[in-house]
Amino acid sequence: MAQTKKKRHRKHRGTQGGRVDERPKGRPRNRAEARQQAKARRSGSGGKRTAASQSRGLQPPSWGSAFTKGLFAAALFLGLLVVVLGRGFGPSAAIAGAMVLFYTPMAYYLDLFFYNRRLRQVAKEKTGA
């Protein structure tokens, strides 16, 4: 006589190499495990940082990025002098060149200040939390 009820089969989770993982990384089994996963995700993120800044990490300031910021600020200053104040382009370009020399170190040391501040915050979170 043929069997009327089918037996339940478990899905085979092994690989062709013979390795079998204990459990797939999916939904947690219980509430405690869900809390543990959420806590691990929160602690790794470092607070209210965005995904882009998390992937970049914490990088020290560079003179190249400071020079780019100085050029951008000087270009804005040049536009302000020429368009809004109606000055000539030649003298305004000379002043903008001087502004690059002023803005570049200012941008570097400002970035350095915020970098050191962030390092102190991360160290405080690691020891205090």
Residue 111: per-residue pLDDT? 95
Is 51 contained in some domain? Answer: no
For the segment 107-116, the average pLDDT, to the nearest whole number, is 95
- Give the HSE-up count for residue 59: Cα atoms under 13 Å, Cβ half-sphere: 10
Is 108 contained in some domain? Answer: yes
Is 98 contained in some domain? Answer: yes
Residue 87: per-residue pLDDT? 83
For the segment 110-124, the average pLDDT, to the nearest whole number, is 92
Is 38 contained in some domain? Answer: no
Q: What is the pTM of this model?
A: 0.54
Q: pLDDT tens digits, residue range 15-66?
A: 777 777 666 567 778 888 888 888 888 876 555 555 445 546 788 999 999 9
Is 33 contained in some domain? Answer: no
Residue 6: per-residue pLDDT? 78
Host domain of residue 104? 61-129
Helix axis angle for 63-79 and 89-128, nearest 10°, is 140
* Rounded-to-integer distance, Cα 87 and Cα 77, Å: 12
Is 53 contained in some domain? Answer: no
For the chain, the domain total comes to 1
Residue 62: per-residue pLDDT? 94
Is 48 contained in some domain? Answer: no
Is 65 contained in some domain? Answer: yes
Q: Mean pLDDT of all residues in the chain?
A: 82
